[in-house]
Structure 1
Amino acid sequence: MDDETPRVELTPAAADLLRRLRAEHGPLMFHQSGGCCDGSAPMCFPEGEFRTGASDVLLAELCVDGVEEPVAFWMSRSQYAVWSHTRLIVDVVAGRGSGFSIEAPEGVRFLIRSRVVDV
């Protein structure tokens, strides 16, 4: 993937939900672990509520119109090894996902759509 190709992007629906969640919860972050509990889905947390470390990779700092600070998108290093040749597209669908992600009470969940990209 070249430097011009974003690793992670947002659909308009995901950006709208992030604006609403930001207004209610303050600065936000995503983490995608690849583990249990909807680990293949990105989970959204108030910034700093999920501790990242050496086993995580910062894939993007997503800029959302109307939100002051970027929304960091982290992924576990082991999950990134599997997804490294894809562009991740954060979307929103109806239904409940993980109880750990802050959008769960809204009756929607974040979902990753992906597209293979040339390296």
Structure 2
Amino acid sequence: MSMQLDAFQVLADPTRRRIVEVLRGGEQQVGDVVEKAGIHQSGVSRHLRILSESGFVSMRPDGQRRLYALRPEPFRELEAWLAQYRELWEARLDRFEAALEKKKQQQQQQTRRVREGSKRG
């Protein structure tokens, strides 16, 4: 469970989420992330280090450049954790939908009875 809490703490920062959004487009150099995310170089470097240390981002040297990319594993772990809650809420929503449908049918039956009664009278 500590992984999830750590992951949520890492992604709670809006600057890191912006960097993650930029990296969704594929490998990027720091300068590209700075430009696309609109964050100063020092901030991008600091947040990339945090994302890298937490396992969300990998760095690949390419000559003089360092290319950063998202790693899928922590996102899969988050998805698996969230899936448990999605199943819970989907089951509750299914029950709610069934209850609404039953109420709608009862109202339709009541409306028909009223109409039939007024036609007879």
Q: TM-score, normalised by structure 1?
A: 0.21
Point out the structure with the larger strand share. Answer: 1
Please identify the structure whose Cα radius of gyration is greater. Answer: 2
Point out the structure with the larger helix share. Answer: 2
